[in-house]
Structure 1
């Protein structure tokens, strides 16, 4: 046997032992024997550097130092899930998807919702190449070196699975491992970690990967993203991923009906406490992958999946004080300051009271004993008052009348749940909040500039609005606290680079009230420039698809404000993209204006997303379900028979992929 053959044989054997121990939980060799073989492989690799392999079992021990984690854009967006808290919610969800698919025959998979740090693993030609955190869903941090130390993640795959794909899951810290870590910290007089989820998440950002390797992290996987059409169902895809070496929890179950889903939920609501890791609910997915494609996504979530959250943990504590926070739009949020209490693994000191109506509805008063739970197991909220413990001298809560920051009299318009501070340009949190929104990832995405730095720049008098950012110079920034020349240069470079950001994101960044990402895209597409938008009448605005009275009036108010007009002129003068570029308009037309399309089936020349984009680029509207308003169905292979039947019943014209291409060419 040659040296290379010996190295390859050892790698294969050690990978097999890793899989048996960390994935199957079935050790086939002692730890001592494993270490002997690993040391033998390390020696051979050191003596023969030509045979180095980044995915060798020896690379799992870590040792690489990462000082800055590179931000990476996800090839496929990582969406969040819609939540449900009752069986009625699940039945409503089923009705919605049945309507879109035009059938009641839908199969589901149920999986436990793991409470860890979301991760996206990238494989190319069967080899692990990258691990990226979820981040904001569009981009995350490259934590490849740290994730490589987790032994339940395969680095090389058999050739009969898939070639290029992404697989997603949760990095978790099992409860027994978490307990052992805390026992060690307590023995060393170190502060104990608060909960497994935060500890797992923090582990991914440790600079020394050898420290990560010492932690008993695990990776439970739940979704494969691929363009290969090798499998027909989500369940089969994950079962084959398990055979390929991935740790797919055996709790996953195929459900033939929503009643089977309810049985799964009921069983695990009690049994979850026996699991070796934390879980806070069940994820229900449409099993058929073609049906998943048919259902598609909303702006935030897949329509084909939903999370059912188990009833949240609940505790009681004392409400010490009610304070008020000012948001970037001037919205006032009352906050309950609580006697610290442990809840679901964290210490809770504050909870949102939402608005004046909520305080009045629950009759919440300072000094009350209140019941607190984590809404969706994340954000603490007060759900009730224990009136039996109310102090005799208790006084009803009088809601704030003046802004806590600038003392301006608060206003509340009809139909609004919240009070607002109208001092838009003189109230510090609003000034800072607008700039922080402007630089955020989904808006201008200015690298080298964070929320704390914005606050510092404002306090130092260097900026008062987002246009001021473009007047900053390196020499002004270097003297600031915690600022070096390199940091200052990176910030200025990031600000200058933001001039390349497309108009739709700039419009969202402006922070016009009620103009979110989706609305900004619709307005950009319709008006094509900031000038056209700001000149638009109320009637012109509400004639745009999905633009209602409230959004239209907000845009009118923004456009009529002299301060905003001056800001826009300054942003024009420094070169921001305030109109659609010629390049982005190249493939756009109004050929399909006023026409409503439904896309169904599998296509050859377009992906479904490309086809929908082509419809919108040519002025058409894409709908998820067939109705009397539908003008065309673009039908690919395997179009659902129920959709075909409904189209024929309503007399909707069905066209092929090629006929659609002819329509827009």
Structure 2
């Protein structure tokens, strides 16, 4: 029995130590019976003394309260995606780009786990929040579930604010046990360990998460106050805070050592208990990382060296033409189901009919298919030696499989040009409602198909006229489900402008470009000429022309959507007239801060940031290794300043750099 707080505190520390040795180190220092007895003694004391409960006690890991849903959470520092390299040649190119400016660079290499990314935020040493990756900027808050994962310490000795990032994974053995249990309970099984980890992390009942043997494996940091030093040493320091130790993490001095480690991991890949899909390579110097910064999508100082795709053979049973929202008709192969890395594959893309002819693929062919990580399975080639005379040629369609209209046959692509084609409209609506667009919950492919079939909708605008009475008469619908969908549709009103732009599915325009367009032009984007749009950093002529063309063809649709949704333009918080107000500015060269950060700062002072130097450029700001842009600025007699001069100008504006 535990009778006083001092004894309770001492035994809490002992139980933490027992749990750490059992769950993290796989080196138990107590029997299960001893652990359980002490656990219940602590629990009894806490029930009698609720005001004395230590928040990091192991008894507090299993939440007793069911969650109603997950709140959105904005990461303090963005969770970036990594650029991929797939072979030794691309690795050499990537390393040489680093050596060009950092010839003495070393690299921290660690395995890339196939799991669910999680961002932990600690302040004053206490776990404050845990959030899923989401879109990299905003995720879902899953703190109560994360606390049930024993390899996530509730308290660390580092007291300053820090985001620790890693992968939530599940071992192959535990994955099989979960699926066996789900089969016995007549529940759907998980496709692979990654899906099992992600699904377990997002349970509304934390007790279910606690039953799944999830592990959190750290791989990096977000918000932190470390400016210099070695990433390798820092990560190892963090691992000593009580986390599960990241296996195979290695400091490599050159490309040869990176390649040797990569090949060693490939050999261990199949037998290792946790699924691996590649290796992360990161410049080791924290100072160099900061100087290199980020592109619009990814860090310049890191990449993912992906493992070779798993190859299997299957048989093509049929070809189904699929019409996308842009009208392109893509041939999709129906296959004899085959298991690859825990997922049953029964369909694979063939991209276009020209590729079918080039590879000489026929129906009833035995083919080699690959799947790598999240990449859609694709067919590599037919095994011609196994043909038995039953093969059937695959012919290009002359008419749209959905609406029957004659198709346009281009050099590579075949398109349905009918803007009212049901398949095109349906795909547009599915994309419109998708997570990175307007995020209309409950409006997936099957629901869109059903609403079309029952003639409740025929275009995007019809979504905003659906009533509860239209839905409750449909199969599988009840009043609550109908109200939830309608509320989700209503919830798109006054959404951020970039989301609406992204939801339109404009060719070549994704999330990043949509945000830049919203900031630069606001709701007038479709009134802006292509030459002005192409000046925006990261946007070229092809993207600019796409926006202009889309605006002309869909003028009425855009007008009505803007009226219904009334999107919110990003605020341009210009605090005062500055030396940068209304100046067209270009950044070039290697700077001490990420370009996105500098651009945002200058835009807040009224600047207009572009990517190319022209006669209209007012100022060029350059860092180390500035190239052709600086030369062009000098030729055009455009004013140019270095980073030190920029900092001095900002000081005069009383703005911190």
2:599 is equivalent to residue 612 of structure 1: yes
Query: What is the deviation of 1:182?
Result: 5.5
Residue matched to 1:270:
267
Q: Are 2:549 and 1:557 aligned? A: yes
Alignment partner of 1:601 is 2:589: no
- Tell me if structure 1 keeps the 8 A contact 2:308–2:372: no
- Tell me the equivalent position of 2:33: 32
User: Per the alignment, in what secondary structure is the counterpart of residue 371 of structure 1?
Assistant: strand
1:11-43 C-alpha deviation (Å, 9 max, x unpaired): 211111111222222211121111111111011
* Cα separation, partners in 2 of 1:524 and 1:583, compared to 1, 3 Å: closer
Map 1:98-113 → 2, pairs under 5 A:
98-99=99-100, 102-113=101-112
1:658 aligned to 2:647? yes
- Residue 385, structure 1, aligned to residue 382, structure 2: yes
Alignment partners' CA distance in 2, 1:318 and 1:575: 47
Query: What's the CA shift for 1:348?
Result: 1.2
Matched, 1:291 2:271: no
Is the Cα–Cα contact under 8 Å of residues 615 and 621 in structure 1 kept in the other structure? no
Identify which range, 541-550 or 341-350, moves more after superposition: 541-550
- Given that 1:62 and 1:212 are in contact with CA atoms closer than 8 Å, whether structure 2 keeps it comes out as no
Identify if the C-alpha distance between structure 1 residues 541 and 66 changes in structure 2 by more than 3 Å, giving closer, same or farther. Answer: closer
Give the Cα separation in 1 of the matches to 2:43 and 2:452: 54
Q: Does the CA-based 8 Å contact 2:75-2:139 persist in structure 1? A: yes
Aligned to 2:401: 404
8 Å Cα contact 1:120-1:132 kept in structure 2: yes
Match of 1:333 in 2: 330
Match of 1:431 in 2: 425
How far did 1:257 drift?
1.6
Q: State yes or no: 1:504 paired with 2:483.
A: no
| Secondary structure, counterpart of 1:39 in structure 2 | helix
What's the TM-score once normalised by structure 2's chain length? 0.87
Instruction: Show the counterpart of 2:637.
Output: none
Deviations 1:467-490 (A, max 9, x none): 333344455555555555555555
Question: Could you tell me how far apart the structure 1 residues matched to 2:515 and 2:330 are?
Answer: 29
Which SS does the other structure have where 1:330 is aligned? coil
The structure-2 alpha-carbon separation of the partners of 1:558 and 1:378, relative to structure 1 and needing over 3 Å to count, comes to closer
Instruction: Say if 2:621 is the partner of 1:632.
Output: yes
Are the aligned partners of 1:320 and 1:339 in contact in 2 as well (CA < 8 Å)?
Answer: yes
Task: Give the SS at the match of 2:370.
Answer: strand
With over 3 angstroms needed to count, the CA separation of the structure-2 counterparts of 1:4 and 1:477, relative to structure 1, is: farther
Q: Residue 422 of structure 1 corresponds to which residue in structure 2?
A: 417
SS at match of 2:296: coil
Q: Does 1:307 align with 2:308?
A: no
Deviation at 1:452, TM superposition (A): 4.4
Q: 1:357 and 1:46, CA in 2 relative to 1: closer, same or farther beyond 3 A?
A: same
Mapped contact 1:597–1:620 kept (Cα < 8 A): no
Counterparts in 2 of 1:56 and 1:614: CA distance versus 1, 3 Å? same
Is the partner of 1:631 in helix, strand or coil?
Answer: strand
In 2: Cα distance, 1:448 partner to 1:600 partner: 45
Q: 1:187 to 1:495 in 2, by over 3 A?
A: closer
Deviations 1:518-547 (A, max 9, x none): 3334444554433xx444455555566555
Q: Distance in 2 between matches of 1:191 and 1:16?
A: 37
Counterparts of 1:57 and 1:95, CA distance in 2: 48
Q: Distance in 2 between matches of 1:32 and 1:513?
A: 62
Looking at structure 2, the residues matched to 601 and 25 of structure 1 have their Cα atoms a distance apart, in angstroms, of 43
Structure 1 residue 205 displacement after superposition: 3.0
CA distance in 2, matches of 1:621, 1:46: 62
Provide the secondary structure at the position in 2 that maps to 1:41. Answer: helix
Matched, 1:225 2:226: no
- Counting only pairs closer than 5 Å after superposition, residues 145-164 of structure 1 correspond to structure 2 as 145-158=144-157, 161-164=158-161
Q: Which runs of 5+ in 2 are unaligned?
A: 613-617, 635-639
1:119 is the counterpart of 2:118: yes
CA distance in structure 1 between the aligned counterparts of 2:551 and 2:651, rounded to whole angstroms: 41
**What is the rounded CA distance, in whole Å, between the counterparts of 2:25 and 2:159 in structure 1?**
21
1:418-497 to 2 correspondence within 5 Å?
418-424=413-419, 426-446=420-440, 449-474=443-468, 476-477=470-471, 479-497=473-491
Q: Evaluate the alpha carbon distance shift between residue 539 and residue 49 of structure 1 in structure 2; reply closer, same or farther with a 3 A threshold.
A: closer
Does the residue aligned with 2:240 lie in a helix, a strand or coil? helix
**1:540-555 aligned within 5 A:** 547-555=539-547
RMSD: 3.4
Q: Are positions 1:577 and 2:575 aligned together?
A: no
Spell out, residue by residue over 1:490-530, the C-alpha distance to the aligned partner (whole angstroms, 9 max, x if none). 54444444332233332222222233233334444554433
| Per-residue deviation, 1:465 | 2.8
Distance 2:335 2:253 in 1: 46
The separation in 2 between residues aligned to 1:388 and 1:575, in whole angstroms, is 58
| Cα distance, 1:345 vs structure 2 | 1.8
Change (3 A) 1:590 1:390: farther
Cα pair 2:297 2:512 within 8 Å, conserved: no
1:595 partner SS = strand
Contact in 2 for aligned 1:341/1:347 (Cα 8 Å): yes
- Cα distance in 2 for partners of 1:511, 1:255 equals 42
Residue in 1 aligned with 2:5?
4
Q: 1:555 to 1:145 in 2, by over 3 A?
A: closer
The offset of 1:368, in angstroms, is 0.6
> Compared with structure 1, are the counterparts of its residues 121 and 550 closer, same or farther at alpha carbon in structure 2 (3 Å cutoff)?
same
Determine if contact 2:591/2:643 at 8 Å carries over to the other structure. Answer: no
Residue 362 (structure 1) shift = 1.0
| 1:72 aligned counterpart, secondary structure | strand
The question of whether the paired residues in 1 share the 8 Å contact of 2:314 and 2:336 is answered with yes
Count of matched residue positions in the alignment of Structure 1 and Structure 2: 636
When residues 136 and 57 of structure 1 are mapped into structure 2, their CA distance, relative to the original with a 3 A threshold, is same
Name the structure 2 match of 1:58: 59
